[in-house]
Structure 1
Amino acid sequence: MDGAWWTDAPCAGDLRFAPPEAEQAAAFLRSPLARQLLATCQDCPFRSACISRVLPRKSGFDGICGGRLWIDGQVQAECADADPGELAEHGSYIPHGTESGARAHNRRGEPACAWCREAGRRAQADRRARRRAARPDPSSPTH
């Protein structure tokens, strides 16, 4: 393992583990493909860490996390060797995709996820634009 654990997890980069649209998520998560994806978690050594990072109960998560299939923060199915001891949610919920989410990642001492990084970048660009707009125009005459 060379980076953060989530880059080494068997699901790394597979967006099917957390469908973005709520309407699509419930139907997808009840499909046979979701059960196949759940098998990816079977031998994953990061299941407990995954739950602590996503906080599926606190966040009302829809997707596959920590060897379990979650709908609205409730376990609907789990991989064969799921251990109840993995379900502890440590830490506080991060509102992903927001500037406050980026700050929450920073407080945890971890790199921000792509959604939070982008939200932080947009918020910083908005602040810069407001500051530029608030400055007096040096080319206009003053009275």
Structure 2
Amino acid sequence: MSGTWWVSDAPCVGDSRFTPNDTSADALRTPMTRQLLKVCQGCPYRSQCIDLVLPRTSKFDGICGGRLWIDGTVRDECEAAHPDELTEDGSYIPHGTEAGARAHNRRGERACSLCREAGRLAQARRREMRRRVSD
């Protein structure tokens, strides 16, 4: 995979409305959802977005790749959405874990802040264990 260079160019970057904290089905189906899907309408990164988030595998709730997902199932989509965009070619990343940091590395991308921190803490634990063994 070529990484996530495109994320900073995506029209939704930094907009938390695409992944709301209240992810009940009713909270996600609002008039604002249609407006957010319009943001995805002209986005050239819809398939990369799906490949990064893996909404089916991760049981995603929110808007990803021009679609409204609830528990990993498409419930609505933008007009430009195409079935070819729905392939999930990547592997699921357990964010916030040392395994997640390794998964980012295998994808050739910089680990997210949660995975970097988990990797840092795991490395510190291994160093402490080695220090104890050598004492």
TM-score tier after normalising by the smaller chain length: 0.7 to 0.9
Q: Is the 8 A contact 1:99 1:119 kept in 2?
A: yes
Measured on the aligned residues, the alpha-carbon RMSD in Å equals: 1.8
In the other structure, the counterpart of 1:14 is 15
Q: Counterparts in 2 of 1:51-62, with a 5 A limit?
A: 51-62=50-61
Q: Is the 8 A contact 1:28 1:34 kept in 2?
A: no
Q: CA deviation at 1:134?
A: 4.3
Q: Counterparts in 2 of 1:44-123, with a 5 A limit?
A: 44-123=43-122
Structure-2 separation of matches of 1:71 and 1:60: 7
| Secondary structure, aligned partner of 1:75 | strand
| Secondary structure, aligned partner of 1:76 | strand
| Secondary structure, aligned partner of 2:23 | helix
In the other structure, the counterpart of 1:129 is 128
2:19 is the counterpart of 1:31? no
Structure-2 separation of matches of 1:84 and 1:33: 24
Q: CA deviation at 1:135?
A: 4.4
Structure-2 separation of matches of 1:128 and 1:51: 37
1:114–1:35 CA distance, 2 compared to 1 (3 A): farther
- Give TM-score scaled by structure 2 length: 0.85
Letter of the aligned partner of 2:23 in structure 1? A
Q: Which runs of 5+ in 1 are unaligned?
A: 137-143
**Higher-Rg member (1/2):** 1
| Secondary structure, aligned partner of 2:94 | coil
- Give TM-score scaled by structure 1 length: 0.81
Structure-1 separation of matches of 2:63 and 2:127: 38
Structure-2 separation of matches of 1:48 and 1:109: 18
Structure-2 separation of matches of 1:25 and 1:70: 10
| Secondary structure, aligned partner of 2:69 | strand
